């Protein structure tokens, strides 16, 4: 663990920092991003996987805590495949999908679903031979199209090509969002992990929540959980940032504590037990 931020004393141990969550496991939710949090960032998104040691910890946590969920920018079904645990919940497409434990089909926001065909058609047009030559890679997230350039032989040229895709998408009325060497082209509807986390917790009896994430999209979840504190829906919230060379400054600024990379996340999971 690199350090505890403002809301927790630097002298506190990780176990002590997690006490608001650990004190009543059955009444607490453990919510985690996947890429860069549970699974190391890899050159090709399709190669991502959760290490078995991390997965086994998560299984044990799922048996002890009231609600466990993974919150991802990927499709919920893809997120479940990567984590390979069917008994926990998955929020996919940055809050646009909710796959409940053991469910076979995700619940999709109807407004978001209506844009699926248009998003896919745009992605097909955007992947010109020249962009493919630069090793820009597209990812079909159903209602979102992602364009990656991590690992391209000339990342600067590939990033410039993706910037052209972003300009085209905005001219055609889509929303765009930048992540860690990835552009997402989205429907112009409100879409963020905060909405997904709020939907997941709705109707749940939990009164405390931990959220762990590594990117700017996770800040929306931080803020949404704190709004649930303000409304009285939750009594305790702990937001953890996963540090890396690519982590945005606002992530650590808004976090209650910081851990170092996916190894630090494993230590955090161990401390929950």
**pLDDT of 206 over the 80 cut:** yes
- Segment 131-160 shows an average pLDDT of 92
Write down the pLDDT at residue 112: 79
Cα–Cα distance measured from residue 226 to residue 220, given in angstroms and rounded to the nearest whole number: 10
Q: Which residue has the higher pLDDT, 83 or 15?
A: 83
Q: Which residue has the higher pLDDT, 109 or 262?
A: 262
Percentage of the chain with pLDDT > 70?
96
Percentage of the chain with pLDDT > 90?
73
* Same domain for 167 and 99: no
**pLDDT of 2 over the 60 cut:** no
**pLDDT of 5 over the 50 cut:** no
Write down the pLDDT at residue 11: 34
CATH number, domain containing residue 163: 3.30.70
pLDDT band at 143 (very low <50, low <70, confident <90, very high): confident
* Same domain for 256 and 123: no
Tell me the pTM: 0.79
**Residue 138 belongs to domain spanning:** 111-186
Write down the pLDDT at residue 1: 32
* Same domain for 201 and 105: yes
* Same domain for 102 and 195: yes
* Same domain for 92 and 36: yes
* Same domain for 166 and 32: no
* Same domain for 230 and 249: yes
Write down the pLDDT at residue 94: 86
CATH number, domain containing residue 73: 3.40.50.1000
**pLDDT of 10 over the 70 cut:** no
- Segment 16-32 shows an average pLDDT of 95
Q: Which residue has the higher pLDDT, 140 or 157?
A: 157
> Across the chain, what does the average pLDDT equal?
90
* Same domain for 125 and 21: no
- Segment 206-232 shows an average pLDDT of 96
Which of 135, 159, 186 corresponds to the end of one domain? 186
* Same domain for 214 and 99: yes
pLDDT band at 12 (very low <50, low <70, confident <90, very high): low
Q: Give how many domains the chain has, as a whole number.
A: 2
- Segment 54-72 shows an average pLDDT of 97
* Same domain for 10 and 80: yes
Q: Would strands 28-32 and 236-243 be described as parallel, antiparallel, or unpaired?
A: unpaired
82-133 pLDDT, tens per residue?
999 999 999 998 888 999 999 999 998 788 788 889 999 999 999 999 999 9
155-185 pLDDT, tens per residue?
999 999 999 999 999 999 999 989 889 999 9
* Same domain for 238 and 226: yes
Which of 170, 186, 202 corresponds to the end of one domain? 186
Q: Which two tokens stand for residue 78?
A: 């893809």
Per DSSP, what are the bridge partners of residue 179?
182
Which of 121, 152, 186 corresponds to the end of one domain? 186
180-204 pLDDT, tens per residue?
899 999 899 888 899 999 999 999 9
* Same domain for 178 and 100: no
């Amino acid at each position: 663990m690199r350090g505890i931020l403002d809301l927790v004393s630097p002298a506190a141990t990780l176990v002590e920092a997690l006490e608001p969550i650990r004190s009543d496991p059955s009444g607490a939710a453990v919510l985690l991003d996947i890429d860069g949090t549970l699974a190391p960032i890899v050159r090709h998104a399709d190669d991502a996987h959760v290490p078995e040691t991390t997965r086994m910890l998560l299984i044990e946590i799922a048996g002890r805590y009231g609600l466990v969920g993974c919150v991802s920018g990927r499709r919920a079904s893809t997120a479940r495949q990567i984590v390979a645990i069917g008994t926990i919940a998955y929020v996919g497409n940055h809050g646009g999908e909710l796959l409940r434990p053991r469910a076979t089909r995700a619940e999709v926001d109807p407004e978001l679903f209506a844009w699926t065909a248009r998003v896919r058609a745009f992605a097909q047009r955007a992947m010109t031979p020249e962009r493919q030559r630069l090793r820009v890679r597209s990812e079909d997230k159903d209602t979102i199209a992602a364009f990656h350039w991590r690992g391209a032989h000339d990342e600067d040229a590939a990033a410039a090509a993706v910037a052209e895709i972003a300009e085209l998408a905005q001219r055609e009325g889509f929303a765009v969002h930048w992540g860690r060497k990835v552009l997402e082209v989205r429907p112009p509807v409100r879409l963020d992990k905060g909405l997904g986390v709020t939907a997941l917790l709705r109707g749940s009896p939990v009164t405390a929540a931990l959220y762990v994430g590594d990117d700017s999209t996770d800040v929306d979840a931080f803020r949404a959980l704190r709004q649930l504190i303000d409304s009285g829906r939750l009594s305790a919230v702990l937001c953890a940032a996963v540090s890396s060379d690519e982590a945005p400054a606002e992530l650590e600024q808004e976090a209650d504590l910081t851990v170092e990379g996916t190894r630090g996340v494993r230590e955090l999971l161990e401390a929950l037990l």
